[in-house]
């Protein structure tokens, strides 16, 4: 049986979407991967663009509410923002809760280039955390993965 992983943030627009994309890409089909938000606002185009730059298409992702998943068991629930950690609900079963704190690129101000750079930085930070998670889980990366 595949381990089930839920990435949780506030808007389910950037960080959790990128984490979902990375884990699916790097671990192939060894996990069931989902993302949600405590207050979903739609997928941010900056997330789609940043992931496309590394060959991962998340353009078909949709922003989902954590309420959709409340009755489902997960092996891991990973909050990727501090506000989601503070409001993270209790999960049924023996769920392993993790917290990874990333800046919110969706809240970036400044020029388009400044915003793009923040999306890229957070995307790459998430990649590092995902690789560490996979190493901890004893899961090999798929060949030719970033």
Q: Is residue 142 part of a domain?
A: no
CATH number at residue 24: 3.40.50.2300
Q: Is residue 141 part of a domain?
A: no
Q: Is residue 43 part of a domain?
A: yes
For the stretch 121-143, pLDDT in tens is 999 999 999 999 999 887 655 55
The residues that are catalytic are: 9, 81, 88
For the stretch 51-87, pLDDT in tens is 999 999 999 999 999 999 988 889 999 989 876 556 5
- Work out how many domains the chain is built from and give that number: 1
CA–CA separation, 62 and 64 (whole Å): 6
Angle at which helix 15-27 crosses helix 45-52, to 10 degrees, equals 30
Q: Is residue 38 part of a domain?
A: yes
pTM of the entire structure?
0.89
Q: Is residue 48 part of a domain?
A: yes
**Confidence bin at 102 (pLDDT 50/70/90):** very high
Q: Residue 69 sits in which domain range?
A: 3-136
Token pair belonging to 48: 């789609």
């Amino acid at each position: 049986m595949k381990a089930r992983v839920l990435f949780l943030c506030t808007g389910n627009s950037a960080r959790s979407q990128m984490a979902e994309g990375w884990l699916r890409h790097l671990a192939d089909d060894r996990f069931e991967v989902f993302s949600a938000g405590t207050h979903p606002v739609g997928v941010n185009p900056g997330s789609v663009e940043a992931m496309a730059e590394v060959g991962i298409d998340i353009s078909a992702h949709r922003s989902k509410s954590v309420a959709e998943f409340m009755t489902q068991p997960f092996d891991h629930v990973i909050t990727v923002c501090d506000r989601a950690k503070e409001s993270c609900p209790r999960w049924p079963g023996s769920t392993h809760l993790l917290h990874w704190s990333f800046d919110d690129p969706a809240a970036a101000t400044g020029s388009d280039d400044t915003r793009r750079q923040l999306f890229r930085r957070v995307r790459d930070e998430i990649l590092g955390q995902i690789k560490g998670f996979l190493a901890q889980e004893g899961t090999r990366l798929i060949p030719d993965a970033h």
